[in-house]
Amino acid sequence: MEIISKILFLFFFLLPILAASSENQVYIVYLGGHKGDKEVHEIEQFHHSYLASVKETEQEARASMLYSYKHSINGFAATLTPDQASKLSELEEVISVFRSHPMKHEMHTTRSWEFVGLEEGIKTTQMHSHTAGMTQGLLSKAKYGHNVIVGVLDSGFWPESKSYSDEGMGPIPKSWKGICQTGDAFTSSHCNRKVIGGRYYVKGYESVYGPLNRTLDYLSPRDKDGHGTHTSSTVGGRAVPDAAFMGDLAEGTASGGAPLVHLAIYKVCWAIPGQDKVDGNTCFEADMLAAMDDAINDGVHVLSISIGTSQPTGYAQDGIAIGALHAVNKGIVVSCSAGNSGPHPGTVANTAPWIITVGASSVDRKFNAPVVLGNGFILEGQTTTTYRLDNVTYPLVYAGDITVPNVTQELAGQCLPNSLSSEKANGKIVFCIRGNGTRVGKGLEVLRAGGIGYILGNAKGQGEEIVADPHVLPATALGEYGAMQILKYIKSTRYPAAKIYPANTQVGTSPAPFMASFTSRGPSVLDPTILKPDITAPGLNILAAWSEADAPTKLAADDRRVQWNIYSGTSMSCPHVSAAAALLKAIHPTWSSAAIRSALITTAGLKNNNESLITDSMGNQADAFQYGAGHFRPTKAADPGLVYDASYTDYLTYLCSLGMPGFDTSFKCPQKLPKTNDLNQPSLAIPKLNGTMTVTRTVTNVAKGKSYYFASVKPPMGYKVNISPNILVFKHKGQKKTFSITVEKERDVISNTQAANGQEYQFGWLTWYDGIHTVRSPMAVSSV
């Protein structure tokens, strides 16, 4: 998120919260998990008794309760004074009491699935039944996700989209316990065999903003934003032929990665009063935790959560981490977005080791809209706007040269609201620089000032990554090189001019994938011994379904409406991995959440379509703090050979090692605690290594028959790595083998690689190979 967006976020989003009464704010009181010895009404009464102990009357106690988490999660959300919250936190059985933090959708289809090798069946059939178009690929083996339920926490869905058709789908699984909650413009008829459940959660939101303004959002599972429709259709939308953005861009068959999964929609994100939706919705933890508690009880198999925060908190104060832990205990896979605070290190969100944390990268598709300068020089640009200029040359001006007097030198050229002189912009193509403000908002300012066209250029350090936007006027966007060329041209001629060509879709571009500059980076600031993110997936310029109640730009001034939109963010990459997890769940229904996470991580790819190592948007070699283990490869993940498994008990032990006991009152921490590095992760991170460290890992054979695996290591530069034993012999499927990894600092590390919190990290790889399966794990090490 760019600087001005953060300022607007603080002003419009946090100000009402800070201004709220200090005497009554929403807190979550977390008591761990349920033991299964109480009925629902008994649990609610139990929670009320806690409130009654700090409230003056029974009536006040009942009125203060927002949610009683009564299925898997034991706790409640209530309005409390800071003093009341403090008293509850002192009780021995209470694990944590924390404010219900607001989170945002942080900018947190066809080509992407073809790009990762999952096109089999999608292009040739609408998949009216789970037997249609079958071949021997992953999709057919998984029956396109048939009988798997994916829960999506987001802003709801647009039920009229063809992505949610249930034509030819099988019956609703008998295990499903959820409901279809009615509300604004939404009845039970809007659920079907595709979208089998829809709920909404608004109490946390309304405790801050008051009753929902029904002109801003629907008080129902219906999506007025577009974000939730985009993410859920990316997971499991049906195959829809002849889909495109605004008629002809990204044309093809649109499909989710697991097109026959059943979807359960949990609306937890809402429009922010007084703020344009281009900056995202808000999602309160009290609401999200209630949704996760219901989703676990409803019977979902996968949870997809494209929500996060750039302000990480400890696991005991993190609603998503708490909910995900209880989900994993029930065998549910939880996939979350890594965040969009890159390229700065230490910004990755959703870092709990039981979550699959997903970064964002590109696909091999561009929306070319070149710029021809007055001197004949051609610059490659991209856009998804459908507005076009006549095929003539127009005067070109740099925004920094036509700003009004009160704009500071630092912000000049960035086309912020009311910053441009109408007299000087009128009838011209205006060149703006990325940095502060939103990309589409800059175009809106050019339009306000009378500009006839708009060119957006990357600032220094942003590289060649281009987010293609559906601007409100004829426009295109350039990478850093093109931006610098335009500035040089404008300064070198008395009458600069340019022509912008309309967009066209180009497929097969290279290099791809490359890492998006916005994707958040590791290391984890909560626990740097857990390597995050885990993996990367397509998140740049992704086509998927959209809400017809919102514009493609989300700007209030944009009256266009679309069925499909091209959008970018780790919010878009997360549902790609959620879909892959659903396919694996269909093929391997007995695998644990950790086994599925491991299979995805250890089979990820490191090369682009040029057969070179994945780079960042500047063309520099990327590393594990950007892509985790690499770019996801669902087909490979179906047969990983070995998995690094971990249980709920292992995670509780890990929390004990962190000094966070009590997440489950029935679990007692062992007297001898292992190192946090010893959690059985399919990756390894050692911060501040002083001398030598040895950690252990256990792998489980999930392939058939007897096999021999040989270890190979590419050690981080400046370190020695020893694997013992370095040969693993498996006699049968399901057999486990334990080995040790010893890392020793060899010499002073001199490098210009990833620096974080004053540390220089080096990266390496551990690979087990049996002649068929390549089981690869990333390593990140730094020294004191």
Active site residues: 154, 227, 571
- How far lies 393's CA from each of 305, 390, 428, 497, in Å? 46, 8, 10, 6
Amino acid at 318: D
Helix (H, G, I), strand (E, B) or coil at 325: helix
Residues 6+ away with beta carbon under 8 Å from 616? 343, 463, 514, 515, 517, 622, 626
Q: Which two tokens stand for residue 555?
A: 């700007």
Helix (H, G, I), strand (E, B) or coil at 621: strand
DSSP assigned state of 238: P
- Residues composing the chain: 784
Q: Is the peptide bond before 725 cis (omega within 30 degrees of 0)?
A: yes
Buried b (16+ CB within 10 A) or exposed e, 35-73: eeeeeeeebbeebbebbbebbeeeeebeebbbbbbbbbb
Measured between alpha carbons, how far is 730 from 708 in angstroms, rounded to an integer? Answer: 6
Greatest CA separation for the chain: 81
- Do residues 154 and 267 touch, judged by C-beta distance below 8 A? yes
The CA-based dihedral angle spanning residues 238, 239, 241, 247, taken in that order and rounded to the nearest 10 degrees: 60
Q: Is 553 exposed, middle or buried (0-12, 13-18, 19+ CB in 10 A)?
A: buried
Edge-to-edge strand list for the sheet holding 642-643: 642-643, 692-701, 736-745, 719-724
Measured between alpha carbons, how far is 550 from 217 in angstroms, rounded to an integer? Answer: 10
Report phi then psi at 114, rounded to 5: -65, -40
